[in-house]
Chains A and B, each alone.
Chain A
Amino acid sequence: MKNSGNSSTALPKAPTGIQGLDEITAGGLPRGRPTLVCGSAGCGKTLFSMEFLVRGATQYGEPGVFMAFEETAPELAQNVRSLGFDLEKLIRQKKMAVDFVYVDRNEIDETGEYNLDGLFIRLNAAIDSIGAKRVVLDTIEALFSGLQNEGILRAELRRLFRWLKDKGVTAIITGERGAGTLTRRGLEEYVSDCVILLDHRVTDQISTRRLRIVKYRGTAHGANEYPFLIDEDGFSVLPVTSLGLQHQVSNERISSGIPRLDVMLGGKGYYRGSTILLAGTAGTGKTSLAAHFVRAACRRGERTIYFAFEESPGQLMRNMRSIGVDLRRCVDDGLLQIHSSRATLYGLEMHLAVMHKLVDGFSPKVVVIDPIGTLIHAGTRQDAQSMVVRLIDFLKSRGITAMLTNLTSGGAALERTDVDVSSIVDTWLLLRDIELNGERNRAMYVLKSRGMRHSNQLREFLLTDKGIDLLDVYVGPEGVLTGSSRASVEAREKAAALAIQQDAERTERERQRKREALEARIEAMRKEFEIEADELATLASQESARAHSLAHDRQKMALLRQADEVARPNPSSKRSGGRL
């Protein structure tokens, strides 16, 4: 039946332009082949196929024909206007053609043999009139309700799909989902290249739209069910793997709002555009920490959106005022928007859509989501995870610093988050409580912070009426202590230190005294010496005076004896020699 098996080497693809879908199909729908899009009523088949055509016409230069069996052209135009598609304009520009095929069994009788050449001719004329490369038949099953002879119909459908292939158009055929089968009329047996199933499911009273590629011949594709959403920008599928890691990276650092925490983060705070996760058990101060960050952003004059899933804006502002953070002023200044909604209010895709819209509208620099874990209640864990990943990706791509809080439920390991986003966040602060000596104290540390030198120290975390205070915890021979035990140990240590200091002072005084005594003795001895020296000097001068006078006397006596004055030097030596 198929002879397309040999072209599997490089299957050409037609990009749909639908966010996320081209990523999970690795490029789009099979070019030149029909694709079956099936699903139950209201799951978005028509919008899906319409977006395929509109994006094709506007973004990829591929005009498209929409053959509608259920809605008229004006109805279609009206329906897709909510997605921002101006169908009338595209039709005027010859980028699109819409042909409404009306089949009413009441008007039609059958007698004898026939074929569907009329449909072929119409389709052909529409394709040729605009040079269409894409075709949508929505939904061809309507033929089954209009024409009775199923044998002819089936043969003709087979011929139609063959003909579409020969024509080289990329086609989408939609089909209503049947009980136990993909389509009510078994269209999947004709379209065997690519089958996409759309689903609109209500689980725990929350509706989630999902998309699954049932088969895609000749190419690898994501096989999971992917949640998708329909909003004013059209379809978007949320593939888990769609982390586009192309975003701009900023080296700018922004304060966390707590000076001591900035010091822990390499002295400068977070990177702008990074994602910060605050994880911790209940009551460890996640929201308070986030509020400080918000206030710091507002003080820098940056816009902030705070998505609160657990508190109303009023409650949040009141509670934060009790720790000295006045968020109301930020709100009044127009720098802060607080959006409170219950996670269960609507499905995940709607949450994401709302967040997208608000972020687009307000263009904030900082976004806080408090807490992300509750989003699980709006869907399954996996959906929530892919949504959060998608959201982080979206915020990063805009250079928005995102702060997520996550409540670690009791008993769960601290180092994991309910939505498993821990691996994609840049900075992860862990808040925990330390229970010791009958009291519970808060502590925090930086579990990781990519791209910066950060402290490895546990800090005690105090909530005062002036805000958050970070203190060093006591680390000593008695272990890590916080709270009053830290205080008592510190007091004890202080007393001990004081005693040591007093001892030291006493020793010092002793030494001083000794020195003084010694110095006094030295002084006394010096005085004694001086006196002795004086006496000795007196003696010496008396001696010399006596010697002098003796010599003088002798001279005098020589004069008296009238000794020869001229020969005096010699006779004196002669005399002395003679005297000896």
Chain B
Amino acid sequence: MKTGQKSEKKPLSLQEIARKGNGGDDTEKWDLRLYVAGQTPRSVAAFANLKRICEEHVPGRYKIEVVDLIKHPQLAAGDQILAIPTLVRKLPQPLRKIVGDLRDTERAIVGLQLRPTRE
């Protein structure tokens, strides 16, 4: 069921993927921001999942900023956050958002476009 929706995503990001495939992504900085609301099990899980994925795919060139909206509610509007947890990929452009606890690693990787394509 979910895979069907994933294939729908692919054509949309094709250009993106093609650009990345041309190189340059090895030096790209990854600027990620994870929005959570308090220390819930879900947000802890989301952070752990994110950390694991980043270590695996972009080790050493990522930055994760965790924003707790309970402490800074005014920050929610800036990135148009509705769902918690939401991961925002500030860099590289374009902006991407992934909502959920990133439990589905495969989908998270595709959503973040961490690698060009899986041939």
Enumerate A62-116 residues with CB–CB distance to B below 8 Å.
Answer: 99, 101-103, 106-116
Q: Which of B5, B42, B70, B73 is the one whose CB lies under 8 Å from A148?
A: B5
* Cβ-based interface call for B18 (8 A): no
Q: Of residues B12, B96, B100, B111, which shows the largest number of chain A Cβ atoms within 10 Å of its Cβ? A: B100
Q: Which residues of B contact A358 (CB under 8 A)?
A: none
Q: Of residues A99, A102, A108, A124, which shows the largest number of chain B Cβ atoms within 10 Å of its Cβ? A: A108
* Cβ-based interface call for B37 (8 A): yes
> Are B80 and A102 in contact, CB atoms less than 8 angstroms apart?
yes
Task: Count residues of chain A with CB under 8 A from any CB of chain B.
Answer: 26
Determine the distance from Cα of A427 to Cα of B46 in the docked complex, in whole angstroms: 78
Binds A, one of B19-27, B55-63, B101-109: B101-109
Query: When A122-B73, A125-B74 are in contact, do A109 and B82 touch as well, CB less than 8 Å?
Result: no
Determine the distance from Cα of A147 to Cα of B42 in the docked complex, in whole angstroms: 18
Enumerate A229-250 residues with CB–CB distance to B below 8 Å.
Answer: none
Determine the distance from Cα of A108 to Cα of B82 in the docked complex, in whole angstroms: 11
* Cβ-based interface call for B64 (8 A): no
> Are A115 and B84 in contact, CB atoms less than 8 angstroms apart?
yes
* Cβ-based interface call for B81 (8 A): yes
> Are B103 and A118 in contact, CB atoms less than 8 angstroms apart?
no
* Cβ-based interface call for A473 (8 A): no
> Are A113 and B42 in contact, CB atoms less than 8 angstroms apart?
yes
Determine the distance from Cα of A113 to Cα of B42 in the docked complex, in whole angstroms: 8
Q: Which residues of A contact B54 (CB under 8 A)?
A: none
Determine the distance from Cα of A148 to Cα of B86 in the docked complex, in whole angstroms: 14
Enumerate B65-86 residues with CB–CB distance to A below 8 Å.
Answer: 69-70, 73-74, 76-77, 80-86
> Are A118 and B100 in contact, CB atoms less than 8 angstroms apart?
no
Determine the distance from Cα of A113 to Cα of B95 in the docked complex, in whole angstroms: 21
Query: When A106-B12, A111-B101 are in contact, do A118 and B83 touch as well, CB less than 8 Å?
Result: yes
* Cβ-based interface call for A166 (8 A): no
Q: Which residues of A contact B5 (CB under 8 A)?
A: 148
Query: When A118-B37, A118-B86 are in contact, do A99 and B80 touch as well, CB less than 8 Å?
Result: no
> Are B76 and A110 in contact, CB atoms less than 8 angstroms apart?
no
Closest partner residue, chain A, to B35 (CB atom)? A118
* Cβ-based interface call for A121 (8 A): yes
Q: Which residues of B contact A113 (CB under 8 A)?
A: 42, 100-101, 103
Closest partner residue, chain B, to A146 (CB atom)? B82
Q: Of residues B12, B76, B95, B104, which shows the largest number of chain A Cβ atoms within 10 Å of its Cβ? A: B76
Q: Which of B83, B97, B98 is the one whose CB lies under 8 Å from A116?
A: B83
* Cβ-based interface call for A119 (8 A): yes
Determine the distance from Cα of A550 to Cα of B112 in the docked complex, in whole angstroms: 184
Q: Which residues of B contact A296 (CB under 8 A)?
A: none
* Cβ-based interface call for B99 (8 A): yes
* Cβ-based interface call for A214 (8 A): no
* Cβ-based interface call for B110 (8 A): yes
Determine the distance from Cα of A115 to Cα of B41 in the docked complex, in whole angstroms: 13
Q: A195-209 toward B: CB 8 Å interface, digit per residue (1/0)?
A: 000000000000000
Whole-angstrom distance between the Cβ of A117 and the nearest chain B Cβ: 4
* Cβ-based interface call for B29 (8 A): no
Enumerate A130-165 residues with CB–CB distance to B below 8 Å.
Answer: 143, 146-148
> Are B70 and A121 in contact, CB atoms less than 8 angstroms apart?
yes
Whole-angstrom distance between the Cβ of B57 and the nearest chain A Cβ: 15
* Cβ-based interface call for B115 (8 A): no
Q: Which of A107, A109, A121, A146 is the one whose CB lies under 8 Å from B37?
A: A121
Closest partner residue, chain B, to A109 (CB atom)? B111
Bin chain B's interface residue count: 35 or more
Determine the distance from Cα of A125 to Cα of B77 in the docked complex, in whole angstroms: 10
Q: Which of A101, A108, A119, A124 is the one whose CB lies under 8 Å from B98?
A: A108
> Are A115 and B83 in contact, CB atoms less than 8 angstroms apart?
yes
Query: When A103-B82, A114-B85 are in contact, do A125 and B76 touch as well, CB less than 8 Å?
Result: yes
> Are B102 and A107 in contact, CB atoms less than 8 angstroms apart?
no
> Are A114 and B80 in contact, CB atoms less than 8 angstroms apart?
no
Whole-angstrom distance between the Cβ of A128 and the nearest chain B Cβ: 8
> Are B102 and A112 in contact, CB atoms less than 8 angstroms apart?
yes
Q: Which of B69, B74, B95, B99 is the one whose CB lies under 8 Å from A109?
A: B99
Closest partner residue, chain A, to B106 (CB atom)? A111
> Are B100 and A124 in contact, CB atoms less than 8 angstroms apart?
no
> Are A101 and B99 in contact, CB atoms less than 8 angstroms apart?
no
Closest partner residue, chain B, to A156 (CB atom)? B83
> Are A122 and B101 in contact, CB atoms less than 8 angstroms apart?
no
Whole-angstrom distance between the Cβ of B103 and the nearest chain A Cβ: 3
Closest partner residue, chain A, to B43 (CB atom)? A117
Whole-angstrom distance between the Cβ of A171 and the nearest chain B Cβ: 17
Q: Top 10 nearest A-B pairs by Cβ distance?
A: A109-B111, A112-B103, A112-B100, A125-B73, A117-B84, A118-B81, A112-B101, A117-B37, A111-B107, A111-B104
Q: List 19 A-B contacts (CB under 8 A).
A: A103-B80, A109-B96, A111-B101, A112-B103, A113-B42, A114-B83, A114-B86, A114-B101, A115-B84, A118-B69, A118-B76, A118-B81, A118-B83, A121-B37, A121-B70, A122-B76, A125-B73, A125-B74, A143-B82
Residues of B within 8 A of A (CB): 5, 9, 12, 35, 37, 42, 46, 49, 69-70, 73-74, 76-77, 80-86, 95-104, 107-108, 110-111
* Sample of 6 further A-B pairs with CB below 8 A, known A106-B12, A110-B107, A114-B42: A107-B96, A111-B101, A113-B100, A118-B82, A118-B84, A121-B69
